[in-house]
Chain A
Amino acid sequence: MEFTTGDLKALFRAFSARMATERDRLCALDGVIGDADHGIAMEQGMKAAADAAQTAEGTLQDVFNAAAKGFLNAVGASSGPLYATALLRAGKAAGPSGSMPRSELRTVIAAIRDGIAQRGKAEPGQKTMLDAWAPAADAAVDGQDADAIAAAARQGAEATRDMIATIGRAARLGERSLGHPDPGSVSAAMLVEEICNAMGKAV
């Protein structure tokens, strides 16, 4: 079954609802090693992305592009450019058409990983959102099923507990960042789960 622009708009609504639900948990995680606002930025950003997506017309790429712009202009900070770039790359991967096979959501996950890595000049292992997106993308490119991709993201986020931050705001904490998961990786795993829900619906 095809993944249409209507499905994509629904996916952004799911992102937005999930971030609103998890806002306080994400803020609490961020309070330990950062400045306690990650949940607020993700809620505001995904709400703006979802609002922009709902009114966007045209192809899958057009909807992704509108969402990217919405997220960025609402947030700024660090998560704005990272997710905006990721969503623009996702739009490019989805392409200028009205629908695609649902299995193509795997290339969307890989494109999001690529966009975040490029914009953040980061690599896996630095205790960032990339530590959830990268294993998810690897599993996706490997052709694994939706449940396996979501599990890879969750395990990746969990593994950030044992990492020392070397990039971003927590980097100056050094070893004091040990034992705490990176909030950006936790929210990333939630977004991967929502994509996998959409992927799994019709596979």
Chain B
Amino acid sequence: MSLTQKLINDGNAAVDEMLAGILAAHPEHLWRPDNAPRAIVARHGPRTGKVALVVGGGSGHEPTFLGYVGKGLADAAAIGNVFASPPPQPAVDAAMAASGGAGVLFMYGNYAGDVMNFDMAAELLEMEGVEARTVLTTDDIASAPRNQRQKRRGVAGNVFIFKAAGAAADMMMPLGEVERIARHANDRTFTMGVALSSCSLPQTRRPSFDLPVGEMEIGMGIHGEPGVRRGPLRSANDVADEIMDAILAEMKAPAGDRVAVLVNSLGATPLMELYILNARIAERLKAAGLVVHKTLVGPYCTSLDMAGASITIMHLDDELQRMIDHPCDCAMFRS
């Protein structure tokens, strides 16, 4: 089998070379502490008395995670290898650089490796006298049944969930309150995706899984984890309908309620297709009597070069709407 074509130099150096490029592009937003090669910190945002929101995880999902580091959103990010959790040290480095003396909130997707590494980081911070709490994101409704929400993976819904927590922290709310809002945001955020092709890792340049032409995988995770089922490729409207049926059934939002929408590319799917999906999503939400308060369309949480898309709906209330509307200024996201 031929190797996938990538613009890289050395697969093993891909993450560090990417970070060098990001720091060169966004010096007004981001900096990196000395001796902390995998910690990226917001220039503006961290300040005395403010809860530090620290996010992180494996690389390959850009602009997740470091693209959401900035004033009004995350204060710092810990960066792992491709699809692999960072060790505890980058999380500690990120937290110490961002700490304003009001505690640290770690937020990341619910994966076993991330949980262990960030929990160790929290223990290390405790030894330094810094209080650290954790909120895991579990928005992928295809990854476990509704009654096992705590087992679900965190995927593109991270964008809205981090945004809500980052706004609360930027409003100088105390740690307990930021944590509460983060959990509330996670509880009301629902995502499901569909993959049309495999991704390939820079180290191997081989497809991570086999997905024949003409087929798609409904409910696939952002590292190529198997989804709900595999079937023939269908139209944008059919795919949007299947995902919206699942999300609306679980969200149970009464008519008149407001939502925020994220139509996300997994990497290779272009904006044209995302907007085609969104036309159907908007129709479905209108038919359900729901009011679209905000829509994001684009590559927000990717899976390297995978083709496919995910749909995220956040069920707003007054509090979450205020958090989503709060301004933020990040290297790869402004609102």
- Residue positions of A touching B, CB distance < 8 A: 35-37, 72-78, 80-82, 84-85, 119-120, 167-169, 172-173
- Residue positions of B touching A, CB distance < 8 A: 80-81, 83-89, 112-113, 116-117, 119-120, 143, 204, 208, 223, 225-226
Interface SS of chain A = helix
Q: B208 and A77: CB pair below 8 A?
A: no
Q: A77 and B88: CB pair below 8 A?
A: no
Q: B87 and A80: CB pair below 8 A?
A: yes
A-B contact pairs, 23 of them (CB 8 A): A35-B208, A72-B88, A73-B89, A75-B84, A75-B87, A76-B87, A76-B113, A76-B117, A77-B80, A77-B81, A77-B84, A77-B113, A77-B117, A78-B85, A78-B112, A78-B113, A78-B116, A80-B113, A80-B117, A81-B113, A82-B116, A85-B120, A120-B116
Q: B120 and A81: CB pair below 8 A?
A: yes
Q: B112 and A167: CB pair below 8 A?
A: yes
Q: How far is the CA of A202 from the CA of B113 in the complex (A)?
A: 38
Q: How far is the CA of A52 from the CA of B116 in the complex (A)?
A: 22
Q: How far is the CA of A5 from the CA of B88 in the complex (A)?
A: 27
**Residues of chain B lying within 8 A (CB to CB) of residue A84:** 120
Q: A77 and B85: CB pair below 8 A?
A: yes
**Residues of chain A lying within 8 A (CB to CB) of residue B223:** 35
Question: A81-B88, A169-B112 are contacts. A76–B80 as well, Cβ < 8 Å?
Answer: yes
Residue of B nearest to A75 (CB): B87
**Residues of chain A lying within 8 A (CB to CB) of residue B112:** 78, 120, 167-169
Q: A173 and B226: CB pair below 8 A?
A: yes
Q: How far is the CA of A24 from the CA of B175 in the complex (A)?
A: 46
Q: How far is the CA of A82 from the CA of B88 in the complex (A)?
A: 12
Residue of A nearest to B223 (CB): A35
**Residues of chain A lying within 8 A (CB to CB) of residue B113:** 76-78, 80-81
Q: How far is the CA of A131 from the CA of B22 in the complex (A)?
A: 43
Q: How far is the CA of A122 from the CA of B204 in the complex (A)?
A: 31
**Residues of chain B lying within 8 A (CB to CB) of residue A85:** 120
Q: Chain B CB within 10 Å — which of A73, A77, A78 has the most? A: A77
Q: How far is the CA of A85 from the CA of B143 in the complex (A)?
A: 29
Given A75-B84, A78-B113, A172-B225, 4 more A-B residue pairs with CB atoms under 8 Å apart are A72-B87, A72-B88, A77-B117, A85-B120
Q: How far is the CB of A104 from chain B (nearest CB, A)?
A: 27
Q: A81 and B117: CB pair below 8 A?
A: yes
Residue of B nearest to A74 (CB): B87
Q: How far is the CA of A36 from the CA of B206 in the complex (A)?
A: 12
Q: How far is the CA of A81 from the CA of B120 in the complex (A)?
A: 8
**Residues of chain A lying within 8 A (CB to CB) of residue B226:** 172-173
Q: How far is the CB of A116 from chain B (nearest CB, A)?
A: 11
**Residues of chain A lying within 8 A (CB to CB) of residue B88:** 72, 81
Q: How far is the CB of B104 from chain A (nearest CB, A)?
A: 19
Q: How far is the CB of B310 from chain A (nearest CB, A)?
A: 17
* Of A36, A72, A76, the contact of B84 (CB 8 Å cutoff): A76
**Residues of chain A lying within 8 A (CB to CB) of residue B87:** 72-76, 80
Residue of A nearest to B91 (CB): A76
Residue of A nearest to B81 (CB): A76
Q: A76 and B208: CB pair below 8 A?
A: no
Q: How far is the CB of A108 from chain B (nearest CB, A)?
A: 21
**Residues of chain B lying within 8 A (CB to CB) of residue A76:** 80-81, 84-87, 113, 117
